[in-house]
Chains A and B, each alone.
Chain A
Amino acid sequence: MNQKAIVLYLHVHQPFRVRHYTIFDAGVNHNYFDAPLGEGTNNQQIVQKVAEKSYIPMNRRLLQLLNDYPQFCLSISITGTVIEQLERWAPEALQSFKDIVATGRVEIVAETYHHSLAFFYSREEFEQQVAMHRTKVKDVFGKTPQVFRNTELSYNNEIAAWADSAGYKGILAEGWDKVLGWRSPNYVYRPSGTENIRLLMKNYKLSDDIAFRFGNKHWAEWPLTTDKFTHWLNSTHNATNFNLFMDYETFGEHQWEETGIFGFLEDLPQKWLATPGNAFMTLSQAIDTYDPADEIDTPHTTTWADTERDLSAWLGNGMQTSAIQALYDLQKQVLATNDLALIEDWRRLQASDHFYYMCTKWFTDGDIHAYFSPYENPYDAFMAFMNAYHDVRYRLIEKGVEI
């Protein structure tokens, strides 16, 4: 019998959001990320709320499932910036992640420490951040990642080639129709121009049924039960691995507990494993188990966001591109200072989230519900970011650096 596996992969991340940092702060204080309590950009309050609503209750259930079902397993990616925030403000939540990883059946995925788009601006900086993340994961969880994902699931042939040469056995991407063509995302693939590495592509229909549509009462398939969901999977014959990739915060934060999202998860292993031959696999297990079905050529960058599935949510307008370019233009000078606090602030500003908050495409169309941002509008996000950037420059000038 053909074995079919659910490959569940959850992405855990929180950025250091820039507070309402004005031109009067620039050159006066450098606490870009320390919003006062009560403000929408207060990182402590956000991470504590998410820990309470999502991380802690979700990990409790995952641990229970891992204990109850020896066949159950999953993969997570967890950025350096969220680990730091959990260490400072929600140690109980961090412990709950350590507990599930300690079962040996939760694989951790490699990525940039700062959730950055550095790959597209500075290879040197990118590699540095991947190395930082590797060290952090080793320190905190005692694991060394084998599979790589780039920020926002951004992917192209070049990234695949890099990951291949860096020794990763797998890499993740969106299962975007324009790339797949007639092919299905439910197989393991090989990226064009590589030999050793394997590509796993998100089944966005099934993933988004859970991540986006689960609680939507206007959705024709609402309510999504585990019976219905496993029936869909069981009746899909040409498939080996169902790649369910989504934000970890889907559970309890994007989809509130009231939608029944936790109950769905708790019921899934029993329902899915009831059919002989069905399995759960980590990313590495899927790669080890299945031979590549074909080669996938991705000359243009894809991501997991928006109907366009490209980088336009982060780098689609002039504010975004000028802000990120200005930041990377400081790389040489910032790194040369050896001032660790300054370098860290500069890296925190690289988080893709800052550029996402500057996106105007939904704002213009009036669809602000599609737009998760702690700022009132994209312009406020840009102004706060640029003032922080100006302060980084100020700190360089103070050190006598030519800019």
Chain B
Amino acid sequence: MKVLMLGWELPPHNSGGLGVACYQLCKALARDGADIDFVLPYKADHDAPFMKVTSVRPEGVIEVERLAGTYDSHKYVFKDGTEQMVDVFGQQQLFEQAVDEYVQQLDEPFDVIHAHDWLTFRGALRAKERTGLPLIIHLHSIERDRAGGNAGNPLVREIEATAMLIADQIVAVSQHTKDMIVKDYDIPADKIEVVHNSIDKSALDPLDDENAYAYLSALKSQGYRIVTNIGRLTLQKNLPNLLYAAKEVIERAPKTIFLIVGSGEQLFELLDLVGRLGIGKNVIFTGFQRGKQWRDAYAIADLFVMPSISEPFGLTALEAIAYGTPVLMSKQSGVAEVVRNSLKVNFWDVHEMANQITAVVQNDSLRDELHANALHEYAHLDWQTSSKKLFGVYDRHAYPGVTV
């Protein structure tokens, strides 16, 4: 099975979960025998020996540099030595042009085109038009998720909607995302296949004996309990509601500490809110963390809370379970579909969120039972399951009319 895969990023040059999910998925697909050409809009070294990684750029562009930060930071260097910063829509236009040129000079036949998220969709549609190959688009998130439940950017929605109509097949990372696509974009449900993300357990470094959060360890020995969130501090993640809930929890269980790990545009707003709620002594912001500090933030916690307004999947929940912590998540989270042994609340229900957090910090037996059973489910998760499901999708479109 030869797959022309269009992506926007791969680790370590990723800004979020999309690159990690693509990388893990391709690794699993390659193990099942997929021959993948992964096409990216920038040039960098990627440790991905299981597939071909191709950097495409339009005629005349000698280099595309991906700068740290978000989608808006690509620098194009032209033949004549001039440089240009290109915004996200400009990049897609250039990517589309480059993909078009790339597929025209291909001499090997592909079976399917597989494109990840709206950023690649213009290129994907052009490639389908040029080659006539079946197009599978993979939705890791939709604009409504990123816009925290609002309609979002109409230009982005237009690209998503067009691609959803023209694609031969849509893959969604959860039933939650599938339902949103059906509801929001009027796409027939039978065009959408749910392929849950998974987690690469081997990529999670083990914990060591000493937790990096010495202060919190000391507090725990004094009977304190730790509630953690790890993620971007952004609208979608619904952290204000977590803080409102925190106030109610602290009133009843004063020995509760909320550990907020991550960075994002909401930081000042959240700091201000903590001040106004008067819970500064119980809320700790650590900023963005990697490595040991990141792992240990999961491990020190008694409960991981992921209150997102809409979470297409929610890998952090699985990471928390891997590092020994049970999860309270919003019902609007895709990962809830694979971890039944978790606490679930509607993202707007601050009272119930507080009720459930209080229950966990007051009852170690609830914490331990939740985690033991979630770990049991975690043990059954595997990217190869996702790969097998995708192969089924590939086969349907690469060999239409063949029934087995």
Cβ contact within 8 Å between A364 and B370: no
> What are the residues of chain A within 8 A of B365 when measuring CB–CB?
317-319, 321-323
> What are the residues of chain A within 8 A of B366 when measuring CB–CB?
319, 379, 382-383, 386
- Least CB distance from B292 to A in Å reads 30
Q: Is B15 an interface residue (CB 8 A)?
A: no
Cβ contact within 8 Å between A317 and B359: no
**Binary interface profile of A, 307-350, with partner B (CB < 8 Å = 1, else 0)?**
00000000001110111000000000000000000000000000
**Binary interface profile of A, 345-387, with partner B (CB < 8 Å = 1, else 0)?**
0000000000000001001101000000000111100110011
Q: Is B388 an interface residue (CB 8 A)?
A: no
Interface centre among B248, B351, B364, B373, by most chain A C-beta atoms within 10 angstroms, is B373
Q: Is A236 an interface residue (CB 8 A)?
A: no
Cβ contact within 8 Å between B369 and A317: yes
Q: Is A166 an interface residue (CB 8 A)?
A: no
> What are the residues of chain B within 8 A of A377 when measuring CB–CB?
340-341
Q: Is A120 an interface residue (CB 8 A)?
A: no
- Least CB distance from B347 to A in Å reads 17
> What are the residues of chain A within 8 A of B43 when measuring CB–CB?
none
Q: Is B70 an interface residue (CB 8 A)?
A: no
Given known A-B contacts A22-B352, A364-B376, A377-B340, A383 and B369 have beta carbons under 8 A apart: no
Q: Is B354 an interface residue (CB 8 A)?
A: yes
Q: Is A24 an interface residue (CB 8 A)?
A: yes
Nearest chain-B residue to A366 (Cβ)? B340
Q: Is B343 an interface residue (CB 8 A)?
A: yes
Cβ contact within 8 Å between B355 and A22: yes
Nearest chain-B residue to A25 (Cβ)? B355
Cβ contact within 8 Å between A383 and B355: yes
Q: Is A179 an interface residue (CB 8 A)?
A: no
- Least CB distance from B371 to A in Å reads 11
Q: Is A140 an interface residue (CB 8 A)?
A: no
A382 to B376, CA, bound (A): 20
- Least CB distance from A159 to B in Å reads 27
> What are the residues of chain A within 8 A of B341 when measuring CB–CB?
360, 363-364, 377, 379
Chain A, interface size category, equals: 20 to 34
Q: Is A274 an interface residue (CB 8 A)?
A: no
**Binary interface profile of B, 146-173, with partner A (CB < 8 Å = 1, else 0)?**
0000000000000000000000000000
Cβ contact within 8 Å between B368 and A318: yes
Nearest chain-B residue to A382 (Cβ)? B366
Q: Is B117 an interface residue (CB 8 A)?
A: no
The number of residues on chain B lying at the interface, defined by a beta carbon within 8 Å of a beta carbon of chain A, is 24
Q: Is B252 an interface residue (CB 8 A)?
A: yes
> What are the residues of chain B within 8 A of A321 when measuring CB–CB?
365
Q: Is A293 an interface residue (CB 8 A)?
A: no
Interface members, chain A 289-321 (any B CB < 8 Å): 317-319, 321
Cβ contact within 8 Å between A363 and B368: no
A377 to B329, CA, bound (A): 14
Q: Is A23 an interface residue (CB 8 A)?
A: yes
Q: Is B363 an interface residue (CB 8 A)?
A: yes
Q: Is B263 an interface residue (CB 8 A)?
A: no
Cβ contact within 8 Å between A322 and B363: yes
Cβ contact within 8 Å between B340 and A363: yes
> What are the residues of chain B within 8 A of A387 when measuring CB–CB?
355, 359
Cβ contact within 8 Å between B359 and A23: yes
**Binary interface profile of B, 318-356, with partner A (CB < 8 Å = 1, else 0)?**
000000000000000000000011011000000110111
Cβ contact within 8 Å between B373 and A364: yes
Q: Is B358 an interface residue (CB 8 A)?
A: yes
Cβ contact within 8 Å between A379 and B368: no
- Least CB distance from B331 to A in Å reads 10
Q: Is B377 an interface residue (CB 8 A)?
A: yes
- Least CB distance from B277 to A in Å reads 17
- Least CB distance from B361 to A in Å reads 10
A230 to B359, CA, bound (A): 53
- Least CB distance from B358 to A in Å reads 4
- Least CB distance from A157 to B in Å reads 30
Cβ contact within 8 Å between B363 and A386: yes
Q: Is B362 an interface residue (CB 8 A)?
A: yes
A321 to B377, CA, bound (A): 23
- Least CB distance from A12 to B in Å reads 31
Cβ contact within 8 Å between B369 and A360: yes
A167 to B359, CA, bound (A): 44
Nearest chain-B residue to A364 (Cβ)? B373
- Least CB distance from B260 to A in Å reads 22
A131 to B354, CA, bound (A): 42
Cβ contact within 8 Å between A386 and B376: no
Cβ contact within 8 Å between A23 and B343: no
Interface centre among B362, B363, B366, B376, by most chain A C-beta atoms within 10 angstroms, is B366
- Least CB distance from A373 to B in Å reads 14
A24 to B340, CA, bound (A): 26
Cβ contact within 8 Å between B369 and A363: no
Cβ contact within 8 Å between A383 and B373: no
**Binary interface profile of A, 92-113, with partner B (CB < 8 Å = 1, else 0)?**
0000000000000000000000
Given known A-B contacts A317-B369, A319-B369, A364-B377, A386 and B355 have beta carbons under 8 A apart: no
User: Which of A322, A363, A390 contacts B373, CB < 8 Å?
Assistant: A363
> What are the residues of chain A within 8 A of B368 when measuring CB–CB?
318
Given known A-B contacts A317-B369, A318-B369, A379 and B343 have beta carbons under 8 A apart: yes
Cβ contact within 8 Å between B343 and A386: no
Would you mind naming 9 contact pairs between A and B with Cβ atoms under 8 Å apart? A23-B359, A24-B355, A317-B365, A318-B368, A319-B369, A363-B341, A363-B373, A364-B373, A364-B377
List 7 other contacts, CB 8 Å, given A377-B341, A382-B359, A382-B369. A22-B352, A317-B365, A319-B363, A321-B365, A363-B341, A379-B341, A387-B355
